[in-house]
Amino acid sequence: MKKINARGKICPEPVIMTKAVVDQGEEELEVLLDNPTSASNVMRFLENRGYSVQLRDDEGMLAIAAHKKEGEASEPPKTQTFKKTSAGAEENLSPPLPPTQTFSVLITCRTLGRSDEELGEVLIKSFLGTLGQVDNTPVVVALMNEGVKLSLYDSSTCDHLKNLEKKGVTVLVCGTCVNHFSIADQTGVGTVSNMFEIVEALNRADKVITL
């Protein structure tokens, strides 16, 4: 049985750690946690991936035992089913597969939400970290206004943006904005760009998520 120690980890890291093990094909695993919210998220993820789960609570120290249900696939089937017609042609018996839409992300602030700055910094870091873990990553992440400060080499988000670049995501940093804040020599990731290039890049995606 594979054991995952996610104690002390904040959301969504416990789910990401669990997903990495599930993607390796592990059929039995135990996830150790100390946060009821994280435990609920991990349990829901595992159940959606075809595992039976059991939660054990030992004075706040949580453990989830998970076993793969027999015959269950970790991922939903992505193939389509065909049969031969009398004329020899193939008839599709499955509903058409939905096309994968491309998307871009435009970030104009250095926090996610503004009512609590400390929470907002945690959330934007978590958002960018999770963005690098999902299967369908954005084609472009564009940073404008205070969002350019996420690219500073000493920021807590720089490594997450570097990880996105490694996955083929284009990170564009507004040149007007870095000049305004006098931080052009402090950016640690991305390409310092211009409004025309940013708008063109965003426009090529099927949809744009704006933060």
Over residues 110-165, the pLDDT tens digits come to 888 877 888 888 899 989 988 888 878 899 999 999 999 999 999 989 999 999 99
Length of the chain, please?
A: 211
Mean pLDDT over residues 6-11, rounded? Answer: 83
CATH code 3.30.110.40 for 2-68? yes
Decide if pLDDT at 108 tops 90: yes
Domain ranges of the chain: 2-68, 103-210
CA distance 155 to 145: 16
Contact 29, 5 (CB under 8 A): no
Mean pLDDT over residues 65-87, rounded? Answer: 59
pLDDT one-digit tens code per residue, 162-190: 999 998 999 999 988 988 999 888 999 98
CA distance 63 to 58: 8
Contact 50, 68 (CB under 8 A): yes
What pLDDT does 141 receive? 93
CATH code 3.40.50.720 for 103-210? no
Q: Higher pLDDT residue, 35 or 88?
A: 35
